[in-house]
Amino acid sequence: MNASPRPPWLFALVAALLALHFALAVGSKLQESTTSDEIVHLTGGFTFDHFADYRLHPENGILPQRVAALPAALMGTKFPQLAGNPYWRTSDAWVLGHEFFYETGDDHFPRLMAGRALIALFSVATGVLVFCWTQRLFGNAGALVALGFFVFEPSFLAHGALATSDACMTFCMLASVGAWWRHLHDGRARWWWLSAAAFGLACVAKYSAPLLLPMFVALAAIRAAAAGPLVLLGRTWTTRGGKFGAAALSALGHGAVAALVIWAFFGFRFAAANPALLPFDHFIRPWEWLDANLGAPGRVIRALAAWHVLPEGYLYGLAYVLETAQVRSAFLNGEFSTTGWPGFFVYAFAYKTTLPLLLASGAAAVLLVRRWRAEWYRFAPLAVLFAVYWIFSITSHLNIGQRHILPTYPVLFIATGALGAWLAARRAALVLAVAALLGWHAVESVRVAPHYLAYFNQLAGGPANGHRHLVDSSLDWGQDLPGLKAWLDAHAAPGEPVFLSYFGTGEPDYYHIRAQRLPFVNGFKLTQPWVPLRPGVYAISATMLEHVYSPIRGPWTPALEKEYQWMRGYEPIFGAYFQDPHQRAELDRQATPAKWRSAWTRHDLLRFARLCHYLRVRAPDANIGYSILIYRLNAAEIAAATTGSLADWQALLDRTVSRGAP
């Protein structure tokens, strides 16, 4: 099918739908605190733009970071003092990010929202590609169907307006595959340059860009095997070997352009640290740390660095990504792993994709299979993108979020354009079926709004049960501190104790949340105090409830119980240490302050783990955006869950389960 004529009204409708997508995505973030990774994306991006220094956080794609930080750089935003700052010398973007966001006196939220809005333009641009590609394959009706599914997709509304790299990489990967395929069919120089530029931008969007290489190879092989000559490099190639060889030479040229783009984004300087600024001790993980864990790939990267083939910041970021992807805590359906599961992204896709999109994709697949002989070649670049990316995802050890498979969703949207044939047929039943699927998809989005990040479909039991299946960036990325503040203002009694265990990089004090802090994942440079537990409101982030990143996770064992009961004997001493300066001085003579901190931190982790085992079988009293669970605990519950014997604790669990766990 050739592209249909585009009537004038079509442009207005497409523009309105894309504007709606932008408004929904950005508008939903107005009441969301900074998510975990945004703080380092903006902090790193600011130092790239303002200081021309690339020591902070080069591992997540310099393009989206520089774009998101542009408003902050143009606003003349204050940055933490560099002189004498140990976190600058050691490239600790997390602590520097906390200082940048919360300790300079400037309000971080306006520049965060500005960065989010700029990143949302990448999501809108993806929608444009989806529409144009679908229109070329399936006509106007199919293009509107595909665009409708894109506009209301919860995952794109969630991640499309976050100051992170996922939306940018999704756009760049789709654009690069499409431009390469077009270049293989149109020998004009403009398409070569467009394809090379798209590939170069993908390389600075995220370190998943190397996945484009096997996609390019597969598409070059398909083009070489197809009938018809290939016009490239000013020549016409007719044999399979000649066509594939010409494509390979073209790919080498793409690599040269990509290298130029990378050098440009790093200021055409090898050294990551700007020599005009203060000295640089090491990256957040020193090169030697990565060398010890990377083996042969690490030696290759170090050789490239020694030869100055690419900038130091880029090569370090690549090494960092490879090293950290080997072992990473992950959670799926109540289980834990440090090396992931082959089925992680399959479950994530099944749980977090709306059922109507799944049904529409399935129906489209049936239609495409029936017309496979006529359509397979034109759909080849999308099929290759989908297949290569999914093969990589299934074998990946980095199982921390459904967002990592976002680049495959545009393929689904475009495929649903095949349903446009049903609309073109103008048969009432088929038109009604397509309209029903689109309407259902939109309703799913509206029902979860504005908490798009927490969307889970009916297969997972809906958003309220999402934390039983996936956490971290699939549900709980630290976004709901404003919602927690609003709930506490409305429901907490004056003077009622509030306890908070938070996963994220937001700052509760910024929202005037007065809570005693239980274990946090991101404590930054703050020392965790000793906190005696009392009846009151317990606000627990889903990721903390499931203990994904705690050193104490999995089943509660007799060994843990024995250690906990032994450490409970120190509770009066911990209390005295914090309440009585004279006793603290005496205790510090018996052991160093560091050892006391280590002792009560270990006790705190054990106590919190024991409490969470109970809370996981107890229904929450409320939830905030589905990511922060609220429990009102009385004295009896706290005693049985944290101070009673093992028998008391087990009896509490049994009673709670017998009453009906959610």
Residue 178 near residue 381, CB atoms below 8 Å: yes
For 62, the 3-state DSSP assignment is helix
Q: Which residue has the higher pLDDT, 629 or 570?
A: 629
Residue 139 to residue 434: CA distance in whole angstroms = 15
Question: What pLDDT, on the 0 to 100 scale, is given for residue 435?
Answer: 94
Q: What is the 3-state secondary structure (H, E, C) of 509-553?
A: HHHCCCCEECCCCCCCCCCCCCCCCCCEEEEEEHHHHCCCCCCCC
For 406, the 3-state DSSP assignment is helix
Taking only the tens place, the pLDDT of each residue in 79-125 is 999 999 999 999 999 999 999 999 999 999 999 999 999 999 999 99
What is the percentage of the chain residues whose pLDDT exceeds 90?
81
Report H helices in 371-449.
372-395, 409-416, 420-425, 428-448
Q: Is the pLDDT of residue 526 over 70?
A: no
Q: Which residue has the higher pLDDT, 301 or 374?
A: 301
- 446-470: average pLDDT: 97
Residue 96 to residue 113: CA distance in whole angstroms = 19
Question: What integer best gives the mean pLDDT of the chain?
Answer: 93
Q: Is the pLDDT of residue 66 over 60?
A: yes
Q: Is the pLDDT of residue 554 over 60?
A: yes
Question: What pLDDT, on the 0 to 100 scale, is given for residue 661?
Answer: 44
Task: Judge residue 345's burial from the number of C-beta atoms within 10 Å of its C-beta, 0-12 exposed, 13-18 middle, 19 or more buried.
Answer: buried
Q: Is the pLDDT of residue 508 over 70?
A: yes
Residue 382 near residue 114, CB atoms below 8 Å: no
Split at pLDDT 50, 70, 90, the class of 485 is very high
Greatest Cα pair distance, the chain, in angstroms, is 89
What is the helix (H) or strand (E) element at residue 228, kind and residue range? none
How many DSSP H helices and E strands does the chain contain?
28, 9
Looking only at the bridges linking them, the beta strands covering 622-624 and 536-541 are unpaired
Question: What pLDDT, on the 0 to 100 scale, is given for residue 525?
Answer: 59
Residue 501 to residue 493: CA distance in whole angstroms = 20
Q: Please list the helix, strand and coil fractions of the chain in percent, rounded to the nearest 5, in that order.
A: 65, 5, 30
Q: Is the pLDDT of residue 4 over 70?
A: no
Residue 271 to residue 255: CA distance in whole angstroms = 21
For 244, the 3-state DSSP assignment is helix
Residue 564 to residue 411: CA distance in whole angstroms = 51
Phi/psi class of residue 287: alpha, beta or left (left: φ > 0; alpha: ψ in -120 to 50)? alpha
- Report domain extents, the chain: 8-31+121-421, 480-658
Q: Which residues, in sequence order, are CB contacts of 35 under 8 Å at separation 6+?
A: 162, 164, 453, 473, 477, 478, 479, 504, 505
Residue 10 to residue 8: CA distance in whole angstroms = 5
Residue 32 near residue 482, CB atoms below 8 Å: yes
Taking only the tens place, the pLDDT of each residue in 240-274 is 999 999 999 999 999 999 999 999 999 999 999 99
N residues, the chain: 662
Question: What pLDDT, on the 0 to 100 scale, is given for residue 524?
Answer: 63
Residue whose pair of structure tokens reads 């002189």 in the numeric block: 83
- Per-residue buried b or exposed e for 535-569, using 16+ beta carbons within 10 Å of the residue's own CB: ebbbbbbbbbbbbbbbebeeebeeeeeeebeebee
Residue 157 to residue 318: CA distance in whole angstroms = 28
Question: What pLDDT, on the 0 to 100 scale, is given for residue 596?
Answer: 87
What is the percentage of the chain residues whose pLDDT exceeds 70?
97
Taking only the tens place, the pLDDT of each residue in 405-416 is 999 999 999 999
Taking only the tens place, the pLDDT of each residue in 278-316 is 888 999 999 999 999 999 999 999 999 999 999 999 999
Q: Which residues pair with 332 in a beta bridge?
A: 335
Q: Is the pLDDT of residue 463 over 90?
A: yes
Split at pLDDT 50, 70, 90, the class of 593 is confident
Q: Is the pLDDT of residue 225 over 70?
A: yes
pTM for the complete prediction? 0.95
Alpha-carbon radius of gyration of the chain? 27
Q: Is the pLDDT of residue 603 over 50?
A: yes
Max mean pLDDT range (30-44, 367-381, 592-606): 30-44
Complete DSSP assignment for 249-303: HHHHHHHHHHHHHHHHHTTT-S-SS-TTSS-----SS-HHHHHHHH-HHHHHHHH
Q: Is the pLDDT of residue 512 over 90?
A: yes
Complete DSSP assignment for 458-473: GGGT-GGGGGGT--GG
Question: What pLDDT, on the 0 to 100 scale, is given for residue 523?
Answer: 63
Question: Cα-Cα-Cα-Cα dihedral of 186, 191, 196, 197, to 10°?
Answer: -160
Q: Which residue has the higher pLDDT, 409 or 569?
A: 409
Q: Is the pLDDT of residue 484 over 80?
A: yes
